[in-house]
Amino acid sequence: MRQQLLDHYLETLAGFADVRRDAFLQHYYAYVYIRIMQALGAYGFRGFYERKAHFLQSVPYALKNLRWLLHNVTLPIALPTLLAAFHSMLASEKLQGLSSEADNLVVRIFSFSFHRGLPKDETGNGGGFIFDGRSLPNPGREERFKLLTGRDAPVIDYLNQQESVHQFLASVMSLVDASVSSYQHRGFKHLMVSFGCTGGQHRSVYLAEQLAKHIRGRNGVEVILQHRELERMAAESTEKEKGAPEHLRP
């Protein structure tokens, strides 16, 4: 198919300019390699370093194109180090594992503060479920919990003792379970579930953790969990430490 498309473009171009097909093809595939490297770099950075896993779903297709090039194209100059790097990428178990992961349903679970707006949907699918946890008992109102989060045992124990929390989670899990099953059946690739509360530190974090625990391990499902406000607080703390005099740094 790719060869037929290239032939079509060259034939069309020949109607407008004098094209030496052999000379064009001698250099064309080098640019194809460059374009694939650009795409792999961009998607690898967004996926591995920014933890936006849906970008990694394009990696298997780039690897497939690399494999075809390595078996069917001879470049006009020898580039042994670069070609060895490509062969190494094709042999990488981590990258090959993305091929099967590309078929997974990716469930992205967020905790957030309503004061700072809703989490951004990077997939363009509209944002999915948004659950408001502000109706639940708030551990943040008690002094003993102020410096803790929804991942800490005392906060978890407190919320586990609240019947309203169990009822809330039961309803959430029923809705999400039904959507996960439907999405998998229909071949959808992304579902976003967000939990908001006042500060994004206690209730929303707890709820997000509980849902992630509930659906992790399901066949064909990849869970990505992100606590937006906790990550922001950690980043701000790191910046303050960098700006502090060396003798005051921890």
Mean pLDDT (whole number) for 127-143: 95
In a domain, 248, yes or no: no
Interior angle at CA 225, CA 97 and CA 103, nearest 5: 30
Using DSSP, state whether 9 is helix, strand or coil.
helix
In a domain, 245, yes or no: no
Task: Render pLDDT for 41-100 as a digit per residue (tens, 0 to 9).
Answer: 888 888 888 777 677 777 888 888 888 888 888 888 888 898 898 888 887 877 766 655
| 123 and 219 fall within a common domain | yes
Reported pTM: 0.61
In a domain, 17, yes or no: yes
Q: What strand order describes the sheet that includes 129-132?
A: 129-132, 190-197, 105-113, 221-227
Single residue among 101, 123, 158 that ends a domain in this structure: 101
Which candidate, 15, 99, 97, places its Cα nearest to that of 57? 99
Alpha carbon distance 229, 234 (integer Å): 9
pLDDT at 246 exceeding the cut of 70: no
In a domain, 193, yes or no: yes
Q: Specify which residues 221 forms β-bridges with.
A: 105
**DSSP at 152:** S
| 140 and 41 fall within a common domain | no
Flag the least confident range among 4-18, 98-112, 220-234: 98-112
Domain of 74 in residue numbering reads as 2-101
Structure tokens at 88: 């190494």
Does residue 134 contact residue 197 with C-beta atoms inside 8 Å?
Answer: yes
Task: Render pLDDT for 140-197 as a digit per residue (tens, 0 to 9).
Answer: 999 999 999 999 999 999 999 999 999 999 999 999 999 999 998 888 888 999 999 9
| 149 and 203 fall within a common domain | yes
DSSP-assigned letters across all residues of 58-108: GHHHHHHHHHHHHHH---SS--HHHHHHHHHHHH-HHHHHHHHHTTSEEEE
In a domain, 249, yes or no: no
pLDDT at 242 exceeding the cut of 70: no
| 7 and 130 fall within a common domain | no
* Percent of the chain clearing pLDDT 70 (strictly above): 91
Task: Render pLDDT for 103-119 as a digit per residue (tens, 0 to 9).
Answer: 688 899 999 999 999 99
Number of folded domains in the chain? 2
For the purposes of burial, counting CB atoms within 10 Å of the CB of 48, is it exposed (0-12), middle (13-18) or buried (19 or more)? Answer: middle
A 10 A CB-CB count for 50 gives 10
- Tell me, what's the pLDDT at 172? 98
Does residue 138 contact residue 202 with C-beta atoms inside 8 Å?
Answer: yes
CA dihedral 130, 134, 135, 136 (to 10 degrees): 110
Single residue among 71, 101, 131 that ends a domain in this structure: 101
Identity of the amino acid at 107: V
